[in-house]
């Protein structure tokens, strides 16, 4: 009697035994599937317990050195990436025009100082003697003119001389007397010296000129661009021979004992992050995290930048925060580059 076909092989292997190998294979597949499901559940559980991370970059405090004048760069003493100490020479600008302006300012200051000294010293004896001689001459002319008028006045009354001659004699006598009084006043002015108010004005003018000369000297010194702090040269935007406009950045320095992580905190995590909170900073190339703490966090939100987009947080606002790294956790010669992508985990709070 023929058995019905059920789609299951009924052949016999080795002496008529049923094909049991296929059943064993199916059992092993089910066990493997269960193992995979268990591993997936463990991974999901691990993801559920994973500490939230925020993304950002490693940064240093930056110092920008602007151009003090629109002058040509005549020397560059450093290169990008070089370490410099405080006061080290970075660049030199052309000094010709500023040196001339400085000399002019110093000369004006000396002139004003000399004018003040002259007023404070008073009138020279020679000038006073000259004024006395001029007064004596004016007085003599006045007496002569008065005597002539006294002689012609009675002659005019008797009409022996013309009335015009008498008038001219009278005018000449008055003019001579006025000149004598002017010479007398000039002598008194020279003997009394300069007024206190005039000396005060001259002193103020001298101080202004000295201040302008000092300011011009500072402008001249600034043409030698020097590092205000120890750090590393990050950028030199202009090359030798360039003439940067006034205020343009000539050099950018990275300063500070340790870098900091600039991260973007999503809005759901903002309430739980405060200044001083502990954090762990991770980045590729280092197995152990670097401890740190929150040193600043912005109160105004901003949109999440493209490199910090992560799942549902992509459409949310974020808050810029700075995580200061613990310098003691870094090796003495370990230097971390600026712009390195980092991941920050905040310590769990009880």
What single-letter DSSP state applies at residue 17?
Answer: B
Q: What is the pTM of this model?
A: 0.62
What token pair was written down for 344? 């920050």
CB atoms within 10 A of CB 277: 16
Give 36's pLDDT tier (boundaries 50, 70, 90).
very low
Query: 78: which residues sit within 8 A by CB, 6+ positions away?
Result: 84, 88, 89, 90, 91, 233, 236, 251
Rounded to 10 degrees, the C-alpha dihedral 279/285/288/289 comes to: 0
pLDDT tens for residues 307-333? 555 555 555 678 899 999 887 777 665
Among 36, 90, 38, residue whose Cα is nearest residue 63: 90
Contact 226, 280 (CB under 8 A): no
Share of the chain above pLDDT 90, in %: 44
pLDDT tens for residues 172-186? 989 999 999 999 888
Distance CA 301, CA 150 (A): 103
Contact 323, 260 (CB under 8 A): yes
């Amino acid at each position: 009697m023929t058995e019905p076909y059920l789609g299951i092989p009924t052949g016999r292997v080795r002496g008529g035994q049923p094909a049991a190998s296929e059943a064993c294979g199916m059992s092993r597949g089910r066990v493997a599937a269960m193992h995979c499901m268990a591993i997936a559940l463990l991974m999901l559980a691990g993801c559920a317990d994973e500490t939230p991370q925020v993304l950002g970059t490693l940064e240093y405090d930056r110092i920008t050195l602007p151009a003090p004048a629109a002058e040509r760069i005549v020397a560059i003493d450093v290169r990008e990436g070089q370490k410099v100490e405080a006061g080290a020479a970075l660049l030199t600008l052309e000094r010709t025009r500023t040196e001339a302006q400085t000399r002019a300012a110093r000369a004006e200051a000396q002139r004003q100082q000399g004018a003040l000294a002259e007023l404070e010293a008073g009138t020279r004896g020679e000038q006073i003697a000259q004024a006395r001689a001029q007064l004596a001459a004016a007085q003599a002319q006045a007496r002569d003119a008065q005597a002539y008028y006294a002689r012609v006045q009675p002659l005019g009354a008797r009409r022996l001389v013309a009335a015009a001659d008498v008038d001219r004699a009278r005018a000449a006598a008055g003019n001579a007397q006025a000149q004598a009084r002017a010479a007398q006043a000039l002598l008194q002015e020279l003997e009394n010296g300069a007024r206190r108010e005039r000396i005060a004005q001259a002193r103020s003018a001298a101080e202004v000129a000295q201040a302008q000369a000092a300011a011009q000297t500072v402008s001249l010194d600034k043409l030698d661009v020097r590092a205000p702090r120890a750090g590393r040269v990050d950028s030199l935007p202009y090359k030798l021979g360039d003439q940067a406009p006034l205020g343009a950045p000539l050099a950018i320095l990275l300063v500070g004992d340790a870098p900091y992580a600039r991260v973007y905190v999503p809005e759901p995590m903002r309430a739980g992050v405060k200044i001083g909170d502990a954090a762990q900073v991770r980045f590729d190339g280092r197995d152990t995290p670097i401890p740190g703490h929150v040193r600043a966090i912005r109160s105004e939100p901003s949109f999440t930048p493209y490199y910090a987009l992560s799942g549902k947080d992509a459409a949310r606002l974020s808050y810029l925060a700075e995580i200061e790294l613990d310098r003691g956790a870094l090796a003495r010669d370990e230097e971390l580059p600026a712009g390195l992508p980092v991941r920050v985990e905040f310590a769990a709070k009880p």
